């Protein structure tokens, strides 16, 4: 009952705060003007992430202060980790502050990445959260040894930034947050990890409140102040879940794969082409579908269906034998490869004389 109350509270607070941030008279009314990366055509407020971060932080701290069990999960419960709650929340707020500064006036890429690196290294160093091994179906756990710390840092840093890369379409990052963190909450509940369960649930409910204003046509975007902290939280909670044995790495990767694979493949493709990956562009698969002619609503509907399908795959993976898991991962990768090829074929077809791109 208490969790229902806290979930309802964060939903209402985020919904209310997002509505205020949409108001032109707000002191935090910062507009996102269309550029080379944008899919929107009119200036739109980009501070919706403030509502998510502020509401989630308030409700999490309130839960920790109001209930004894909540204090236990806030400080890590029976975990061997050093108080992950305050450190995860503290680094999230640091990144939110820097990202808001970037939204207001822009910061050099090196400074943003430098601060993100400091935040991730501090979290890993103090709490001891690392990906010490990777479970490979039919092979077993592959120990990372001395590579555990750098691999963990790079993973969380990548999750932090790929969330930002994928926040380029109405309702997309918000929907992934609702579905993705909601799924992580379920797996944490099943694994009896109160901290991951509660924080993931609150994040999911907060994003739902924001999403009511972010569905196409969006009245507000989450901005870097939302996407960067959410990406950091996804990476941190995945590492914590793997470290504490709640799930192996493939389950959250399956859940967030619509983001992980699109961002990773797109960045690698741009690197191979010699392009500057930090510059604005519109070559992510979801952007290409919108530009192809599907528009925001159709593309978003397909992406939501894909997100749900990936959650179902993660649920199946958890209950399968090793042989089944290998088969599922193979089908998963081949499926995404097929989708990527399909997008390319649609684009080439649209460029032929006499063809249209109407979806």
Residue 29, pLDDT above cutoff 80: no
Give the pLDDT confidence of 85-97 residue by residue, as tens digits. Answer: 889 999 999 999 9
Q: State which residues form the domain around 18.
A: 2-351
User: Quick one: DSSP state of residue 108?
Assistant: -
Q: What is the mean pLDDT of residues 292-315?
A: 93
Q: What is the mean pLDDT of residues 142-161?
A: 95
Pseudo-torsion of CA 192, 90, 153, 309, nearest 10°?
Answer: 50
Residue 136's φ and ψ, nearest 5 degrees, are: -110, 120
Question: Quick check: is 128 in a domain?
Answer: yes
Query: Greater confidence, 302 or 284?
Result: 302
Sequence-separated (6 or more) residues with CB below 8 Å from residue 141: 133, 134, 135
Question: Quick check: is 359 in a domain?
Answer: no
Residue 353, pLDDT above cutoff 60: no
pTM of the model: 0.91
Residue 280, pLDDT above cutoff 80: no
Residue-level pLDDT at 252? 97
pLDDT class of 71 with cuts at 50, 70, 90:
very low
Residue-level pLDDT at 349? 78
Question: Quick check: is 334 in a domain?
Answer: yes
Residue-level pLDDT at 83? 62
Residue 186, pLDDT above cutoff 50: yes
Token pair in block for residue 345: 């074929």
| Count of CA atoms in the C-beta half-sphere (13 A) of 186 | 14
Q: What is the mean pLDDT of residues 39-44?
A: 68
Using CA atoms, how far apart are residues 358 and 204, in angstroms rounded to an integer? 34
Residue 74, pLDDT above cutoff 60: no
Q: Smallest Cα–Cα separation from 59: which of 227, 188, 203, 222?
A: 203
| Count of CA atoms in the C-beta half-sphere (13 A) of 155 | 25
Residue-level pLDDT at 305? 96
Strand (E) positions, the chain? 31-32, 44-45, 133-136, 140-143
Sequence-separated (6 or more) residues with CB below 8 Å from residue 261: 336
Residue-level pLDDT at 337? 92
Residue 98, pLDDT above cutoff 90: yes
Pseudo-torsion of CA 90, 81, 256, 254, nearest 10°?
Answer: 180
Residue 359, pLDDT above cutoff 50: no
Give the pLDDT confidence of 247-275 residue by residue, as tens digits. Answer: 999 999 999 999 999 999 999 988 888 88
Question: Quick check: is 295 in a domain?
Answer: yes
Query: Greater confidence, 39 or 57?
Result: 57
Q: What is the mean pLDDT of residues 25-41?
A: 66
Residue-level pLDDT at 243? 93
Q: What is the mean pLDDT of residues 126-136?
A: 92
Number of domains in the chain: 1
Question: Quick check: is 358 in a domain?
Answer: no
User: Quick one: DSSP state of residue 218?
Assistant: P
Residue-level pLDDT at 311? 97
Residue-level pLDDT at 122? 95
Using CA atoms, how far apart are residues 56 and 318, in angstroms rounded to an integer? 29
Question: Quick check: is 231 in a domain?
Answer: yes
Q: In angstroms, what CA-CA distances link 78 with 37, 72, 171?
A: 45, 8, 37
Lookup result for tokens 């399908």: 309
133: β partners: 143
Residue 76, pLDDT above cutoff 50: no
- The answer for 67, left when phi > 0, alpha when psi is -120 to 50, beta otherwise, is beta
Q: What is the mean pLDDT of residues 282-296?
A: 83
Question: Quick check: is 308 in a domain?
Answer: yes
Using CA atoms, how far apart are residues 350 and 16, in angstroms rounded to an integer? 43
Question: Quick check: is 357 in a domain?
Answer: no
Is the four-CA dihedral 210, 343, 165, 127 of positive or negative sign? positive
Residue 171, pLDDT above cutoff 70: yes
Q: Count other C-beta atoms under 10 Å from residue 31's C-beta.
A: 12
Residue-level pLDDT at 261? 93
Cis peptide before 217 (omega within 30 of 0): yes
Residue 285, pLDDT above cutoff 90: no
Residue-level pLDDT at 270? 87
| Count of CA atoms in the C-beta half-sphere (13 A) of 65 | 6
Residue 276, pLDDT above cutoff 80: no
Q: Cα Rg for the chain, rounded, in angstroms?
A: 20
């Amino acid at each position: 009952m208490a969790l229902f109350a806290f979930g309802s509270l964060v939903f209402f607070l985020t919904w209310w705060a997002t509505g205020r941030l949409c108001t032109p008279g707000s002191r935090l009314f910062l507009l996102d003007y269309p550029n080379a990366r944008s899919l929107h055509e009119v200036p739109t407020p980009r501070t919706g992430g403030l509502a998510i971060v502020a509401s989630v932080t308030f409700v999490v701290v309130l839960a920790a202060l109001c209930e004894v069990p909540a204090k236990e999960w806030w400080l890590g419960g029976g975990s061997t980790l050093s108080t992950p709650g305050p450190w995860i929340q503290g680094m999230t707020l640091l990144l939110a502050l820097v990202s808001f500064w970037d939204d207001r006036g822009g910061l050099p890429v090196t400074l943003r990445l430098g601060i993100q690196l400091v935040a991730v290294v501090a979290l890993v160093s103090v709490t001891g959260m690392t990906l010490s091994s990777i479970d490979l179906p039919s092979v077993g756990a592959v120990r990372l040894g001395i590579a555990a710390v750098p691999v963990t840092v790079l993973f969380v840093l990548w999750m932090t930034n790929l969330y930002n890369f994928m926040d380029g379409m109405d309702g997309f990052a918000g929907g992934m947050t609702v579905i993705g963190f909601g799924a992580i909450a379920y797996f944490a509940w099943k694994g009896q990890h109160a901290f991951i369960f509660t924080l993931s649930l609150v994040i999911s409910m907060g994003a739902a409140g924001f999403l009511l204003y972010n569905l196409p046509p969006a009245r507000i975007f989450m901005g870097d102040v939302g996407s960067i902290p959410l990406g950091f939280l996804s990476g941190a909670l995945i590492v914590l879940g793997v470290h504490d044995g709640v799930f192996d790495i493939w389950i959250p990767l399956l859940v967030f794969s619509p983001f992980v694979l699109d961002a990773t493949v797109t960045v690698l493709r741009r690197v191979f082409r010699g392009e500057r990956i930090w510059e604005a562009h519109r070559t992510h698969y979801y952007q290409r579908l919108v530009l192809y002619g599907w528009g925001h609503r159709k593309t978003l509907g397909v992406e939501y269906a894909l997100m749900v399908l990936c959650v179902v795959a993660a649920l199946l993976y958890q209950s399968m034998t090793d042989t089944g898991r290998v088969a599922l991962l193979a089908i998963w990768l081949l499926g995404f490869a097929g989708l990527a090829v399909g997008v390319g074929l649609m684009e080439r077809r649209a460029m032929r004389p006499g063809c249209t791109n109407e979806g």
